[in-house]
Amino acid sequence: MKSALPVVFWITFLFYSLTFIFTLLRKKKAEAISSAAGLISNISGLIMLVLLSGHAPVFRLFESFMLGAFFLAIMGVLFTSQEKKLPDVRFWVWLEMMLLMGITALANKEPAPFAYDYNDLYIVFFHFLRIAVVAITLFSSALYIQSRFDNKRGDSIAVYRAHQGRNFLILGALLFLTAEYVGIRWCLRGWGDFWQWGPGFFQSTIIVLLFMLAVHVPGSNHGQGKWRPRLGIICGFLILGLIAYRSTL
């Protein structure tokens, strides 16, 4: 079954790529079929990872980004639709999916070996929440990007779109802080202190500060040339980069 994992990954990548292409071609039915096939393949990969490793697929880059791709696909399918003109939010979500799968393609396509503490609920929950944050903030970035395009077109939906981007950004911040709290409890139990001076804690703090900046910068959520939507866009990609980097250590 282990040797089948890379095959399942490439099939998932193929179906998500087809979904992106059909979004570009405005083929609704084909897009729906390929996204459903991608999701089924993605779930199959996750089930295989769990069966092979015996633990939740949240620890190393390959398994955690497969889970992240699943979350992003679910959000893309449930919360977006093909609109009249390109680009639309769905286009950006599938483009982000290409990025996510592209990074995953570089990783070793094996589950993480079962370390002695991988069944600890705090540790599992901490990693799980962070992966959910990657998907949610990428979705938020897609909304912010589209809001800028709508704004350029003079479409009044830009305001609503940016507000939705802000909503998902705050949801991401909420889950990230929950992950941090769970991480604090884990750290306390493992090292006797809730804070450790080092790169892992600094990078987490950078993410928290980025969230704080994105909601504190003066200006509206949707205005052109404003820092708030810019930071809203940056958040998803920076968090993706930082968590990808941490997963490789």
Partner 1 sequence: MSRVTEHLSSLSFATWTLVALFFWFVFGTVLCANQDFLTSFREMNSALTRDWLLDQGQGSTFLKAWFVGLCLIMIVMGVNLVFCSSNRILKIMRHRFSGAKLFMLIVHVIFGLVALGHLGGFMLGYKYDDVGLKKGGIFSFEDDLQLEVMDVHFVDDMQVLKKSRRDIMKDEFHHKDNFVEVALQKAGQVLVQDRIYLLEPIHHKDIQITLKRFLPPDADAASPTNGMPGVMVAIACNPVLKAFLLIYPLMILGIGVHMVMTWQRPEKENSNGREI
Q: Is 191 in the site for partner 1 (CB under 8 A)?
A: yes
User: Which C-beta is closer to partner 1: that of 21 or that of 215?
Assistant: 215
User: Which C-beta is closer to partner 1: that of 26 or that of 185?
Assistant: 185
Residue 223: CB minimum distance to partner 1, A: 9
**DSSP assignment letter at 30:** H
Among 21, 33, 217, 234, binds partner 1 (CB under 8 A): 217
For 28, residues 6+ apart whose C-beta sits below 8 A from its C-beta are 82
**Is the separation of the CB atoms in 122 and 194 below 8 Å?**
no
Q: Which stretch binds partner 1 (CB under 8 A): 34-42, 78-86, 97-105, 116-124?
A: 116-124
Residue reference for tokens 């570009």:
24
**Is the separation of the CB atoms in 104 and 58 below 8 Å?**
no
Q: Is 119 in the site for partner 1 (CB under 8 A)?
A: yes
Q: Is 167 in the site for partner 1 (CB under 8 A)?
A: yes
Q: What is the identity of the amino acid at 233?
A: I
**Is the separation of the CB atoms in 36 and 103 below 8 Å?**
no
Among 143, 173, 233, 244, binds partner 1 (CB under 8 A): 173
Helix (H, G, I), strand (E, B) or coil at 71: helix
User: Which C-beta is closer to partner 1: that of 154 or that of 192?
Assistant: 192
Among 4, 40, 106, 209, binds partner 1 (CB under 8 A): 209
**Is the separation of the CB atoms in 221 and 157 below 8 Å?**
no
Q: How far is C-alpha 222 from the geometric centre of its chain's CA atoms?
A: 22
Q: Is 124 in the site for partner 1 (CB under 8 A)?
A: no
User: Which C-beta is closer to partner 1: that of 73 or that of 112?
Assistant: 112
Residue 39 token pair: 């999701």
Burial of 185 (0-12, 13-18, 19+ CB in 10 A): middle
**DSSP assignment letter at 111:** P
Among 109, 166, 239, 243, binds partner 1 (CB under 8 A): 166
Query: Is the bond leading into 87 cis (omega within 30 degrees of zero)?
Result: yes
Residue 19: CB minimum distance to partner 1, A: 28
- Considering only residues 74 through 93, tell me which ones interact with partner 1, judged by CB under 8 A: none
Residues that bind partner 1 (CB under 8 A): 54, 113-120, 159-160, 162-163, 166-167, 170-171, 173-174, 177-178, 181, 184-186, 188-199, 202-203, 205-206, 209-210, 212-213, 215-222, 228
